[in-house]
C-alpha cells in the first residue's frame, strides 16, 4: 500500500506544480469562479481534470503499442525532448522580457464543465508532458507497467490538477496578480527545470533509447 501511495504522491505533486504556472487553463478557472461563482469554477476544473486523466491513462496503456513500433516511438521521444527544450527557451525569453500573462479573457459562454473539457482536450502538452514524466518514473523504478499502479498514478494526477485549480479558484484575482508580479522568477525556475529534464532525457536516449528501457520493463511484467 505504501508503494501505491508513493505513486499517488508523485502523480499529485507533478500535476499540482504543473498547474501553477499562469496559462489559459488556470486563469480561465479564476475568471469563471469570479463571474459565475466557486461552484462553477470547480465544475470547470472537474471537466478539465477528467479529460486529462483520460488522456494520461490511454497514453500509459498505449506505451506497449508504441514500443512495438520503434520508428513512431523514436520520433515521439525526439519530439518530447525538442518540446522540452522549446518550452525551456520560451520560459527564459519570457523571464528575460519579464513578460506576464494577461488575466483578461473573452467571455466564456459554454457550460463550465464543457469549457474545461474543451480547453483540456485542445491542450497539446498533455501527452508529451506525461509521457516524459512517466519515462522518468519508469527509469527510477517508481512506476511499473501494472494497471493498479497506473490507476493510482492517474488518481494522483487528477487530485493534483484539482488542487492546482482550487488555488486559482479560491485565490481569485489577488493570487493571479501576485503570481503575475513574480512571473519572471517563476519563468526562470520553470526554464531551468525543463532544460535540465531535457538534457537528462537526451543523454538517456543517446545511451539507451527509451524504447529499449521500456521493453526491459515490460519483459519483467509479461502479463501486462
Contact 202, 81 (CB under 8 A): yes
pLDDT computed for residue 203 by the predictor: 75
Q: Which pLDDT band, with edges at 50, 70 and 90, does 214 fall under?
A: low
Contact 201, 84 (CB under 8 A): yes
Q: How far apart are CA 180 and CA 174, in angstroms?
A: 10
pTM over 0.85: no
For 47-61, what is the mean pLDDT?
Answer: 89
Long-range pairs for 179-182: beta carbons < 8 A, 24 or more residues apart? 179/20, 179/22, 180/22, 180/100, 180/101, 180/103, 181/100
The widest CA-to-CA distance across the chain, in whole angstroms, is 52
Give the cell for residue 16. Answer: 499540482
For 36-64, what is the mean pLDDT?
Answer: 88
Q: Which residues of 149-161 are buried (b: 16+ CB within 10 A; e: fewer)?
A: bbbbbbbbbbbbb
**In terms of C-beta density within 10 A (0-12 exposed, 13-18 middle, 19 or more buried), how is residue 109 classed?**
exposed
pLDDT computed for residue 202 by the predictor: 77
Q: How far apart are CA 216 and CA 221, in angstroms?
A: 9
Q: How far apart are CA 59 and CA 63, in angstroms?
A: 6
* In the chain, beta strands by DSSP E: none
Amino acid at each position: 500500500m505504501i508503494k501505491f501511495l508513493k505513486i499517488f504522491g508523485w502523480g499529485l505533486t507533478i500535476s499540482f506544480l504543473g498547474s501553477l504556472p499562469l496559462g489559459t487553463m488556470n486563469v480561465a478557472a479564476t475568471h469563471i469562479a469570479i463571474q459565475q461563482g466557486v461552484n462553477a469554477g470547480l465544475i470547470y476544473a472537474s471537466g478539465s481534470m477528467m479529460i486529462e486523466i483520460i488522456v494520461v491513462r490511454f497514453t500509459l496503456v498505449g506505451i506497449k503499442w508504441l514500443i512495438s513500433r520503434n520508428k513512431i516511438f523514436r520520433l515521439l521521444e525526439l519530439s518530447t525532448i525538442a518540446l522540452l527544450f522549446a518550452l525551456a527557451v520560451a520560459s527564459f525569453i519570457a523571464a528575460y522580457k519579464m513578460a506576464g500573462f494577461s488575466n483578461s479573457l473573452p467571455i466564456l459562454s459554454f457550460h463550465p464543465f464543457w469549457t474545461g473539457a474543451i480547453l483540456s482536450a485542445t491542450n497539446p502538452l498533455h501527452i508529451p508532458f506525461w509521457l516524459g514524466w512517466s519515462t522518468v518514473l519508469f527509469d527510477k523504478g517508481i512506476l511499473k507497467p501494472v494497471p493498479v499502479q497506473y490507476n493510482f498514478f492517474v488518481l494522483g494526477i487528477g487530485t493534483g490538477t484539482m488542487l492546482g485549480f482550487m488555488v486559482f479558484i479560491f485565490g481569485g484575482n489577488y493570487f493571479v496578480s501576485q503570481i503575475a508580479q513574480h512571473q519572471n522568477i517563476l519563468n526562470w525556475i520553470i526554464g531551468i527545470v525543463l532544460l535540465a529534464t531535457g538534457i537528462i532525457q537526451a543523454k538517456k536516449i543517446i545511451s539507451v533509447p527509451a524504447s529499449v528501457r521500456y521493453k526491459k520493463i515490460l519483459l519483467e511484467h509479461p502479463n501486462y
